[in-house]
């Protein structure tokens, strides 16, 4: 509600009270104009405002108010007075009111007939209507003038407070949107969150609270170590331009923006927008800052509504979102670097173990791939599949504590030698237990040789006692073992291996996992086998 509307509400309520005392009032607007004409069909207004005498005096009072003069009560004709009062809305807005007052003297004076003629009213009817009003005597005009001044002052105070409350409400609304945006983005700011998912959520959240048709984010992938499946571009909303055109717009903006503050760009005069047809009059553009300069840009186009110019609060919200994107991407890039370093260390450790026995070269990588595909086929999400893949990669890390003479023995193992082999799950768990990133991986390392019927090792767990992640690795481990050449036998044919997996459902393996395992396409696995065989073919021949 504006100041003018706030006054109108209070004026309308007060005018009903004043009318019952024979008073008609007009408000002087912010430009100094005021309607002097009576409302058609309103007998009191037509009686008090139709006369040229009243209108001339009304104009004189209005002119005095425009000049800033103090206006005292004026009697136009016996029984008709004109009063003026100031309605102060704030320090910059003082709006005046002009009132025409009928007193008791009018009902019995000779000028009533002239006023009725000017308003084309029936005197008898008017006299009857006036008798129903609570008219004051002429001697009470000073009191009524003071009353009108108090009413005007009260209306000004109401207007000021109404405007203040509306401003507070507007600020609270803006603050709520900003706080809600912060809460939503912070809640999703996790190093484990996929960048595509996070930026998609940022775009959706901004589209929800801002009146823009579309919002885009362009990231410079050359300076960021982010997941391979992230393209560096995200756009959401409704637009007529192609995604490719909006991506190229992001490239042009990214090459020319700097700093951290959002700016409002006039797209009609900016050559960077020449190829874009659906961006409206103004576009909010905000750099996404990195540690060493700009790493991206967030831009919002085609504002909806009457005012197509972006506001400061809209720019502020875009800027806040850009700051969160900046923090998230820097953390995500750091996480990728640490993750790559961590996985590189794990890969090096696994390769060192595999090198102890050339015949098992690549076994851990293949088990990792198989276990991950099984988890995905079983319905696990992307994050869960990645953990299963890591579990498959390190499942045999405990073999580093088993003598090579046992690992590489070509013939049948003795019972003491097999007891040494059976220790590798426990050794592996002890090696990894102090690494925080491995906490949820340890069950697979410790229990991948348990059997569904309880006949496995090291703890003889059965059925659902066996952790699910260990059940995935168990099938993958057995499949690769049967599919690979070993010192004591050649690789088994694929049909034989699959028949064995099926036969052992419910005894060695969780029967619920056999069907999803059979749905895996093994082309990539076979390529891995051939690659590892070619890599260490010479070593195997020498052996």
Same structural domain, 153 and 198: no
Residue 91 in this model has a pLDDT that exceeds 60: no
The answer to whether residue 413 is domain-embedded is yes
Q: 163 near 89, Cβ under 8 Å?
A: yes
Residue 343 lies in a domain: no
| CA–CA dist 376, 496 (Å, integer) | 24
* pLDDT value of position 41: 87
Q: Where is average pLDDT lowest: 106-115, 189-198, 392-401?
A: 189-198
The larger pLDDT score, comparing residue 342 to residue 442, is at 442
Spatial CB neighbours of 92, under 8 Å, sequence gap ≥ 6: none
pLDDT at 444: 95
- Is 32 inside any structural domain? yes
User: Across residues 1-26, what is the average pLDDT?
Assistant: 67
Shortest CA distance to 183 belongs to which of 201, 210, 197, 207? 201
Range among 159-168, 237-246, 394-403, 415-424 rated most confident: 237-246
Q: Are residues 126 and 39 in the same domain?
A: yes
Give start and end residues of each alpha helix (H) in 138-211.
141-188, 195-209
- Asked if 27 and 152 sit in the same domain, the reply is yes
Range of the structural domain that residue 477 is part of: 355-542
Residue-level pLDDT at 26: 85
Check pLDDT > 90 for residue 2: no
Name the domain count of the chain. Answer: 3
Residue 261 belongs to a domain: yes
pLDDT in tens, 473-489: 999 999 998 988 666 56
CATH number of the domain bearing residue 515: 1.10.3210.10
Residue 540 clears pLDDT 70, i.e. is over it: no
What is the rounded average pLDDT of the residues 223-240? Answer: 81
Same domain, 397 and 280: no
The CATH number of whichever domain residue 206 belongs to comes to: 3.30.450.40
On whether both 444 and 382 belong to a single domain, the answer is yes
237 and 305 together in one domain: yes
In this structure, is residue 180 part of a structural domain? no
DSSP secondary structure letters along 236-257: EE--SS-HHHHHHHHHHHHHH-
Q: pLDDT tier at 171 (50, 70, 90 boundaries)?
A: low
Both 284 and 409 in a single domain?
Answer: no
In a domain, 345, yes or no: no
Instruction: Give the per-residue pLDDT at 365.
Output: 87
Residue 542: its pLDDT value, please? 30
Give residue 539's pLDDT. Answer: 40
Q: Is the pLDDT of residue 187 over 70?
A: no
Average pLDDT, the chain: 82
- 77-86, 321-330, 351-360, 468-477: least confidently modelled range: 351-360
Are residues 468 and 432 part of one domain? Answer: yes
- Tens of pLDDT, residue by residue over 293-332, are 888 999 998 888 777 788 888 888 888 888 888 888 887 7
- Percent helix, percent strand, percent coil in the chain, to nearest 5: 60, 15, 30
Shared domain check, 84 and 221: no
Residue 348 lies in a domain: no
> Average pLDDT, stretch 267-292?
87
Residues 524-534: b if buried by 16+ CB within 10 A, e if exposed: ebeebbeebbe
> Does 30 have pLDDT greater than 80?
no
What is the share, in percent, of the chain residues with pLDDT greater than 70?
Answer: 82
Query: Higher model confidence: residue 441 or residue 5?
Result: 441
Residue 346 lies in a domain: no
Q: What is d(CA 249, CA 255) in angstroms, rounded to the nearest whole number?
A: 10
pLDDT grade for 517, boundaries at 50, 70 and 90:
very high
Is the pLDDT score of 57 beyond 80?
yes
pLDDT of residue 37: 83
Task: Kindly report the backbone phi and psi dihedral angles of residue 213, in degrees, each rounded to the nearest multiple of 5, phi listed first.
Answer: -75, -35
Q: CA dihedral in degrees (272, 273, 276, 282; nearest 10)?
A: 150
- Shared domain for 145 and 218, answered yes or no, is no
**29 and 94 co-located in one domain:** yes
**Structure tokens of 98?**
């002009």
Task: Kindly state the average pLDDT of the residues 267-271.
Answer: 88
Residue 370's pLDDT band, with cuts at 50, 70 and 90, is very high
Task: With a cut of 90, say whether residue 7 has pLDDT above it.
Answer: no
Based on the domain organization, do 282 and 203 belong to the same domain? yes
pLDDT score, position 460: 94
The pLDDT assigned to 1 comes to 41
- For residue 520, the model assigns a pLDDT of 94
């Amino acid at each position: 509600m504006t100041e003018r509307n706030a006054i109108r509400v209070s004026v309308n309520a007060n005018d009903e009270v004043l009318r019952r005392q024979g008073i008609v009032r007009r408000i002087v607007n912010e430009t100094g104009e005021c309607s002097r004409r009576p409302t058609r069909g309103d007998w009191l207004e037509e009686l008090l405002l139709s006369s040229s005498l009243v209108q001339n005096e009304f104009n004189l009072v209005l002119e005095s108010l425009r000049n800033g003069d103090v206006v005292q009560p004026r009697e136009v004709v016996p029984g008709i007075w004109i009063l003026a009062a100031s309605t102060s809305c704030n320090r910059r807005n003082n709006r005046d009111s002009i009132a025409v007052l009928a007193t008791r003297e009018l009902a019995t004076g000779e000028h009533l007939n002239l006023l009725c003629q000017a308003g084309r009213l029936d005197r008898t009817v008017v006299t009857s209507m006036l008798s129903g009003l609570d008219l004051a005597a002429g001697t009470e005009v000073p009191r009524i003038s003071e009353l009108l001044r108090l009413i005007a002052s009260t209306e000004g105070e109401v207007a000021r407070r109404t405007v203040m409350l509306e401003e507070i409400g507007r600020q609270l609304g803006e603050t709520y949107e900003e706080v809600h945006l912060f809460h939503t983005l912070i809640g999703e700011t996790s190093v484990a969150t996929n960048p595509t998912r996070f930026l998609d959520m940022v775009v959706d959240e901004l589209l929800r609270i801002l009146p823009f048709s579309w919002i885009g984010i362009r990231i410079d992938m050359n300076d960021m170590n982010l997941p391979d499946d992230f393209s560096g571009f995200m756009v959401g909303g409704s637009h007529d331009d192609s995604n490719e055109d909006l991506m190229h717009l992001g490239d042009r903006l990214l090459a020319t923006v700097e700093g951290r503050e959002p700016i409002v760009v006039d797209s009609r005069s900016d050559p960077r927008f020449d190829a874009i047809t659906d961006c409206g009059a103004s576009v909010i553009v905000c750099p996404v800052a990195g540690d060493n300069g700009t790493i991206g840009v967030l831009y919002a186009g085609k504002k909806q509504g009457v005012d197509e110019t972006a506001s400061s609060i809209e720019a502020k919200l875009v800027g806040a979102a850009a700051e969160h994107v900046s923090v998230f991407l820097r953390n995500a890039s750091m996480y990728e670097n640490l993750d790559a370093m961590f996985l590189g260390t794990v890969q090096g450790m696994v390769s060192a173990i595999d090198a102890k026995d050339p015949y098992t070269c690549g076994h851990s990588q293949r088990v990792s791939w198989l276990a991950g595909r099984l988890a995905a086929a079983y319905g696990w999400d992307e994050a869960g599949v990645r953990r299963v893949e890591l579990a498959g990669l390190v499942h045999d890390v405990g073999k580093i504590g088993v003598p090579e003479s046992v690992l590489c023995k070509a013939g049948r193992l003795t019972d003491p030698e097999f007891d040494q082999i059976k220790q590798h799950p426990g050794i592996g768990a002890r090696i990894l237990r102090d690494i925080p990133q491995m906490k949820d991986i340890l069950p697979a390392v410790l229990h991948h040789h348990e059997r569904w019927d309880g006949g496995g090792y090291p703890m003889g767990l059965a059925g659902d006692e066996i952790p699910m992640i260990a059940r995935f690795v168990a099938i993958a481990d057995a499949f690769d073992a049967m599919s690979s050449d070993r010192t004591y036998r050649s690789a088994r044919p694929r049909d034989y291996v699959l028949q064995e997996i099926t036969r052992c459902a419910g005894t060695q393996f969780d029967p619920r996992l056999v069907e999803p395992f059979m749905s895996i396409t093994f082309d990539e696995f076979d390529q891995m086998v051939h690659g590892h065989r070619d890599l260490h073919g010479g070593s195997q021949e020498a052996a």
